Amino acid sequence: MLESHDNQHPEDSSPEKRDQASGLRTMTRQGPVKVIAVTGAKGGVGKTNVSVNLAACFAELGNQVMLMDADLGLANVDVLLGLHANYDLRHVISGERTLEEIIIDGPRGIKIVPAASGVSRMAELSNAEHVGLIRAFSELALPVDVLLVDTAAGISDSVVSFSKAAQEVLVVVCDEPTSITDAYALIKVLSRDHGVERFHILANMVKDKVQGEQLFSKISRVAERFLDVSLLYLGAVPFDEQLRKSVQRQVAVVESAPRSKASRAFHRVAEQVNNWPMPDAASGKLEFFVERLLYAGDYGGGNTEGFG
Ligand SMILES: Nc1ncnc2c1ncn2[C@@H]1O[C@H](COP(=O)(O)OP(=O)(O)O)[C@@H](O)[C@H]1O
Ligand SMILES: [Mg+2]
């Protein structure tokens, strides 16, 4: 398990490096970051729990983890973890706070970026605000290996932008008709209008392994027939009372009940995701993710309907 880490980067503070970075370009401190958007369209399917618990598992596997809370729902990341965010990305955009100042520490050294109310107006930001936000991320003095984005319910501009900007899209579904149709609608919009081709399906709240597999084949059969996508099965997280209890206690279940069925499943999923290839150094940096996020509307040649 990872304890707190040193935030200083001696290699970045050399005079040589600083000289190189001065001038027009801002200093880039980050290496490539694996960005994963956790989606599912329907509220209550477990997106926030999946985000928080996978984040904790990734940290345990030795990664520096950042978790961006882009969900305006009731149980935000900070609520689930018993933390309180006073500020969010809105305050970074307005210049009232630096990115470092809004980041809160979660369990196992996870860095949480409260984005929630900031993301709702991403589409309306001015050019100067875009530049400021990209710079804030490029100058961030925290190492990040994995960025998980807990997206909102529905298929809003913000959900589309985050999914498009991420390298991988994880779709959380449970075995209810509304969850299945919502997940399908999300996959359809992202693939047909925005060029996203690959989706990782995570079945949540299933009663056993078989139900998870059946749920996956229900979705993939339809999606692969009617859409130009590839759906990959990431596995299942069982319905687990321990998870409910941990939500009430405001701790991640992998922390409060590490031996529970849900926790063991989260660890299995995290290990699989941990083996996904890293993005290449050139395009994988955090500031490029933010850039893609901000310009998602006029990016990639897809349909740009709904973007301001
Ligand atoms: N694997 C699970 N087992 C039992 N209950 C679950 C599980 N996943 C989610 N839940 C329940 O569903 C609720 C909603 O989960 P949440 O992660 O907040 O969903 P979302 O972010 O998609 O709205 C949780 O508070 C919890 O009670
Ligand atoms: Mg949520």
Residues 216, 218, 224, 229, Cα dihedral to 10°: -40
Side chain identity at residue 188, one-letter code? K
Instruction: Count the helices and strands in the chain (H runs, E runs).
Output: 14, 8
The model's pTM: 0.87
Residue 220 beta carbon below 6 angstroms from any ligand 1 atom: no
Q: What radius of gyration, in Å, describes the C-alpha atoms of the chain? A: 19
Q: Which ligand is nearest to the CA of 236?
A: 1
How would DSSP label each residue in 87-121? --HHHHHTTSS-HHHH-EE-GGG-EEEE-HHHHTT
CATH architecture of residue range(s) 30-69+143-295: 3-Layer(aba) Sandwich (3.40)
How would you write the pLDDT of the chain (308 residues) with one tens digit per residue? 333 333 334 444 444 444 444 433 444 556 789 999 999 999 999 999 999 999 999 999 999 999 999 887 666 898 899 998 889 998 999 899 999 999 999 999 999 999 877 777 777 788 888 888 888 998 898 999 999 999 999 898 889 989 999 999 999 999 999 999 999 999 999 999 999 999 999 999 999 999 999 999 999 999 989 999 999 999 999 999 999 999 999 999 999 999 999 999 999 999 999 999 888 877 788 988 998 888 875 543 333 333 22
How far, in Å, CA of 116 to CA of 88, rounded? 7
CA of 169 to the centre of ligand 1 (A): 19
Question: Where do the structural domains in the chain lie, given as residue ranges?
Answer: 30-69+143-295
